[in-house]
Amino acid sequence: MTLAPEPPMGPVTLSDNTQAVLLLTSPLLVGGSEGSAGAKVLSAGEYSQLAMSLRQSRHQPADLLNGGRDALLASLPAHFDPERLSQLLSRGFQLGQAIEHWANRSITVISRADEVYPRRYKQRLKHLAPPLLYVCGHLALLDSPALAVVGSRSTPEVVLQQTTEIASLAASAGVVIASGAARGVDEAAMLGALNAGGYAIGVVADSLEKMSAKPIWRQGLIDGRLLLLSADAPSARFQPWRAMARNKLVYALSDAALVMSSDKDRGGTWEGAKEQLTKIRSCPIYVMDDPRGGEGLPAIHAMGAGLWPYPSSPEQLKLVVVDKPPLRHTPTAYHNKMHADLHAESLQQSLWDLGDFSPRLVLSEVNEDIGAATDCKSGETKQPSLKPDHSLLGRTLSPADELHAFAKKVILEALEHPKTESDLVELLKIARPQIKDWCSALVAQGHAKRLNKPIRYVRS
């Protein structure tokens, strides 16, 4: 990774635009939505409208500071309630106190108008991109390739173990781990990366001020290997709806996402993944192919998430994250209800099943999809132009499919007599997760059987 560790930021003077946006939208040091001027702070939506109106009159938020504010307020359409805006803007001293307090706690604020504001948020979230981000740590991490790793708070230890391993692999690959800094999978992923000398970003739903003071994050912040960020003022307390809003921000700054565990039909992880797969589609999503991750995983898979390909080297992981992987399912491919049947069917199939459609077509879909997501003005999503098409089957066999077909043949030959995973690893000299993946698929397709105690596979 080329990022030079940088000392945590010193005193930063906030841009005038950021100051104006803070006055309008932030509760500052006082909690809640009351701006402690008797006026409620603007919601993200309200602020967007105001920003648009300002832009139309060739103004920017900074023009609401100092000199010309009265004239500008008077010129705004009446529904903006100039009295309320004026009250919010009169909180200059509170603003000074807040900025000083936050800077003291190593927290700074950036707004959409700032150069450093993450481009991905603007591109992917459009008008839903938070007007302000409160950040603590190394801002440049926002420009690096990132893998989002998410999951529920109550996740079995063994899955957390896997999470740590994947995160440390990401660390070796120079891929930043993005997560929510909550207990469970989030912490395991971020600490896995940090402890392996890597980088992490935590999008915080709890108080950023509290979170950044936690001993587990301290060294990462001091070393410049961690960034904690939040769209909510640093003193904000945890609220379930905040966790929901937070999920969006995790996905939106990542190149790919991996769901380690999830409940079904409930919980932040589930809702977040569902929102991604059905609405926002910030990045490709994978799920673990492991029943210990909970009932949510197969269901998220059914909604369109890919199965995690278990990369076994940093290079492979980097390919999964950065290069668009040969996905069988893309997020939008399964948005279309007309293909509901196909979902059910595809669930039974494995990654390398020849019954699947061509990866090349999928690739083009992915690109298409990114285009669609970044171009959604109306909020309605453009359908992908290409649908999975079974008529293409067997016509062109991609190199990957050739490999899979060959592997299937070799493994089934080897399984004439029962063999453990270790036997196969020994025999074929390939990574265990790959063996596991292929064997499970053979079992699922009925080509092989699984024997217990110890776990072995045999051709059926």
Partner 1 sequence: MAASVFNHARALHLLRAGSGNPKADFRDGQLEAIQAVCEQSSRVMVVQKTGWGKSFVYFISTLLYRDAGRGPSLLISPLLSLMRNQVAAAERMGLRAATVNTENQYQWQRIERQVANGELDLLLISPERLQNERFILGPMAALNPSLVVIDEAHCISDWGHDFRPDYRRLGRLVKTIPNISLLATTATASQRVMDDLAAELGPSLYQLRGDLNRSSLTLQTLQLPSQTARLAWLASTIRTMEGSGIVYTLTKRDARVVAGWLKECGIEAEAYFGGSSMVSSERERLEEALIRDQLQVLVATTALGMGYDKPNLAFVFHYQMPGSVVAYYQQVGRAGRALEAARGVLLSGREDLRINQFFIRNAFPTRAAVEEVLTVLDQAPEDGLHLNRLMETINLSEQRIQQTLKILSLEVPAPVGCTNNMWQRLPAPVSPSFWQRVERLEQRREEELNQMQAFLELPYGSHMPFVVQALDGDPFNVDAPRLAPLSELVDRELAMHAAAYLKRLDIPIYPRKEWPIWGIPSFAPPKNKYIYTSRKAEVGRALCYWSDAGWGGLVEQGKYKDGRFSQELVDACVALLERWSPSPAPEWVCCIPSSRHRELVPDFAYRLAGALGLPFVEALVKVRENEQQKAMQNNTQQVRNLDGAFAVCPELPPGPCLLVDDMVDSRWTFAVAAWQLRAAGSGPVLPLALAQTGQGR
The span of 96-104, 250-258, 313-321, 358-366 binding partner 1 (CB under 8 A) equals: 96-104
Classify each residue of 250-260 as buried b or exposed e, where b means 16 or more C-beta atoms within 10 Å of its C-beta: bbbbbbbbbbb
For partner 1, which is the closer residue by CB, 200 or 361? 200
230/105 Cα distance (integer angstroms)? 14
> By CB under 8 A, what part of segment 126-165 binds partner 1?
136-137
Site string for partner 1, 351-390 (x = CB under 8 A): ----------------------------------------
Which residues sit opposite 34 in a β-bridge?
A: 40
Q: Is 240 in the site for partner 1 (CB under 8 A)?
A: no
Residue number, 45 or 92, with CB nearest to partner 1:
92
**According to CB under 8 A, which one of 1, 6, 36, 275 is a site residue for partner 1?**
36
Q: Which stretch binds partner 1 (CB under 8 A): 15-23, 114-122, 162-170, 300-308?
A: 15-23
Q: Given the complex with partner 1, which of 126 and 210 has the nearer CB atom?
A: 210
Site for partner 1 in 209-228 (CB under 8 A): 212-215, 217-218, 221-222
The angle subtended at Cα 215 by Cα 210 and Cα 217, nearest 5°, is: 80
| 94 in contact with partner 1 (CB under 8 A) | yes
- Residue 456 contacts residue 448 (beta carbons within 8 Å): no
What is the sign, positive or negative, of the torsion defined by CA atoms of 294, 299, 303, 306?
positive
Residue of 3, 46, 48, 69 interacting with partner 1 (CB under 8 A): 69
Minimum CB separation of residue 62 from partner 1 in Å reads 9
Provide the angle, in degrees to the nearest 10, between the axes of the packed helices 268-275 and 296-303: 10
Minimum distance between the CB of residue 141 and partner 1, rounded to whole angstroms? 15
Task: Render the burial of 62-86: b for 16+ CB within 10 Å, e for the rest.
Answer: bbbbeeebeebbeebeeebbbebbb
3-state secondary structure of 427: helix
Asked if the bond preceding 454 is cis, omega within 30° of 0, the reply is yes
Taking CB under 8 A as the rule, does residue 20 contact partner 1? yes
Identity at 99, one-letter amino acid code: I
* 100 contributes a contact to partner 1 by CB under 8 A: yes
Distance of CA 337 to the CA centre of its chain: 25
Tokens of 245: 């809003």
Choose the binding region for partner 1 from 60-68, 163-171, 391-399, 446-454 (rule: CB under 8 A).
60-68
**Binding interface with partner 1 (CB under 8 A):** 7-11, 13-14, 16, 19-20, 23, 29-31, 36-38, 65-67, 69-70, 87, 89-97, 99-101, 103-106, 136-137, 212-215, 217-218, 221-222
